Structure 1
Amino acid sequence: MTPSADMSTILNRILDTAADNLRVAKILIQLGLDPNNVTYDAIFNRLLELFLANITLANLFALIGAIFFVATLLTQTMVPLRVANMFGCAFFAGFGALAGNITTFLLYFLMVPINAFRLRQMLNLVKMARSATEGDASMEWLKPFMTERKYRKGDVLFKKDEAANEMMLTMTGKFLVKEIGVELPPGRLMGELGFLSPDNKRTATVTCLEDGHVLTITYEKLLEIYFQNPQFGYYFLVLTSQRLLENIARLEGIIAQNKIATQPTAN
């Protein structure tokens, strides 16, 4: 490399640095600062002056809305997230109204009732799940999240040891758990244990004894509800434990009856 090339490179770097410094100086001048006397206090005081000079009620609403929006990003569960989102949307809608921006106003104004509806749905889910653990095992609280499926007499709903990906709630008809010979009337859960088992396998075979229909919900949807509100997971676990204990009590009764039947009679 020749000396002239080195000098050219150095000059280009000097010009680039000078241009950058000129840009910085221009920005500082636009902010009302002296480029030759820049301190943290001066920058802070100038920014504070600009903030106080430009703050309006509309901008204040936007600032509060932004704070609530940041709160939604830091919230881990759905209920407080919905609450924070509702407040944030309300303040942004206020900003749009005060600023005369009809698009912003309508967008955030319409999001308030949507968030309120979803919040009410989630609170009702938790409330009904709680009442279910206190004795009401109707499972009505899960129906809004389930889809209907019909079966005819003789149909096999699922077989033992096959992969499980959904839970069912009987609505009409009768269904038989073949391994233990138990009939399931309307209003009973099927397949909930597969959701909790590590390998998601069916623990029994269920067939349809007479025409009927069930409501189904996938395990993915159950997980979604759980992550939206971990309280639901606790209540669902209690309900499932109750079902498991009922099955154990039923099997213990059958074993006791078999022991009595096999005992030798006295002469």
Structure 2
Amino acid sequence: MSMALLWDTAVATLTSSLATPAGIVAACSAAVAGALVVVSSFVKTMIPLRCLAVGGNLGFLLYGALHPSLIMMLLHGALLPINIWRTAEMVRLTRRVTAAAAENDLSGVWLRPYMRSARMKAGRVLFRKGDAARHLYFLASGQIEFVEIGEMMEAGRLFGEIAFFAPDKRRTLTARCATDCTVLRIDETTFKQLYFQNPAFGFQVVNLVTSRLIADRQRLESLMASSRPAPLGS
């Protein structure tokens, strides 16, 4: 088939499609959806990308309904709820982290939907001093003991974050279950996906980790001040 014939066929098909109001709406929908797909190829962050994908799905779904195409309707009808759900999920995560930063909530509870849960018996060692830090942890129930300093941690706290973000990624303490515990963890790959998909999430996480480090330093300074001997003659 020659190029001229292909061109004539395409023009005839387009002309017949635009002959009715429904055809015009279908063509405009497809054009807008196609433009959104092109724009999405230049977007680097996940929430705008998902929003553009939702718009593209709606456009192609409308085109498939008005210019009957069962395959197109099935494809974009299946993709639409997935993209809506993923967009809502990332928006919720950003709001949780932003609220935690605003309230100075260092617990890390906002990460729970993305963490895997495990039940651990008393005496179980989560990691030892010098181990590679491959996970970030959240203690949902029980108590964790940091062996080298004899400190106990209650439930509802994020832990293991310093080594997780440190350049050498090595644990500075040993963490052991003092009681039966429920521990949630997130691996580095999942955390990086969340970070790069949503820069606002990453920025707020940096703020929260910085707040935790400052709080730890202030606690250490208070302990050192209380352990100093009183000046002579006081």
TM-score normalised per structure 2: 0.87
Corresponding pairs, count: 226
**Seq. identity, %:** 31
**1:52, 1:103 → 2: CA distance?**
20
**Alignment check: 8 A CA contact 2:130 2:172 kept:** yes
Q: 1:53 aligns with which of 15, 27, 32?
A: 15
Q: Flag the 1:53–1:162 CA change in 2: closer, same or farther, 3 A.
A: same
Structure 1 residue 60 displacement after superposition: 2.5
Q: Flag the 1:122–1:97 CA change in 2: closer, same or farther, 3 A.
A: same
Higher RCO (CA 8 Å, separation ≥ 6 residues): 2
**Alignment check: 8 A CA contact 2:107 2:158 kept:** no
**Correspondence list, 1:2-151, <5 A:** 27-28=3-4, 31=7, 53=15, 55=18, 56-57=23-24, 58-135=26-103, 136-151=105-120
Report the secondary structure of 1:210's partner residue.
Answer: coil
Instruction: Name the structure 2 match of 1:177.
Output: 146
**Alignment check: 8 A CA contact 2:120 2:181 kept:** yes
Matched, 1:237 2:199: no
Give the stretch that moved more between structures: 74-83 or 179-188.
Answer: 179-188
Instruction: Name the structure 1 match of 2:192.
Output: 223
**1:169, 1:175 → 2: CA distance?**
11
Deviation digits for residues 224-261 of structure 1 (CA, Å, limit 9, x no counterpart): 0011101111111111111111211121122112213x
Query: In angstroms, what is the RMSD of aligned CA positions?
Result: 2.3
TM-score normalised per structure 1: 0.77
Instruction: Name the structure 1 match of 2:174.
Output: 205
Q: Which runs of 5+ in 1 are unaligned?
A: 1-22, 33-46
**2:70, 2:7 → 1: CA distance?**
31
Instruction: Name the structure 2 match of 1:189.
Output: 158
Structure 1 segments, 4+ long, off by >4 Å, are 28-32, 49-52, 263-267
**Alignment check: 8 A CA contact 2:106 2:212 kept:** no
**1:29, 1:226 → 2: CA distance?**
51
Deviation digits for residues 179-206 of structure 1 (CA, Å, limit 9, x no counterpart): 3332111111111112211121112211
**2:39, 2:6 → 1: CA distance?**
33
Structure 1 or 2, whichever has the larger Rg, is 1
Instruction: Name the structure 2 match of 1:5.
Output: none
**2:209, 2:6 → 1: CA distance?**
67
Instruction: Name the structure 2 match of 1:44.
Output: none
Q: Flag the 1:183–1:123 CA change in 2: closer, same or farther, 3 A.
A: same
Report the secondary structure of 2:93's partner residue.
Answer: helix
Deviation digits for residues 100-136 of structure 1 (CA, Å, limit 9, x no counterpart): 1122112102221211111111001000100101123
For 2:33, the aligned partner's letter is: G
Give the stretch that moved more between structures: 218-227 or 243-252.
Answer: 243-252
For 1:182, the aligned partner's letter is: E
For 1:27, the aligned partner's letter is: M
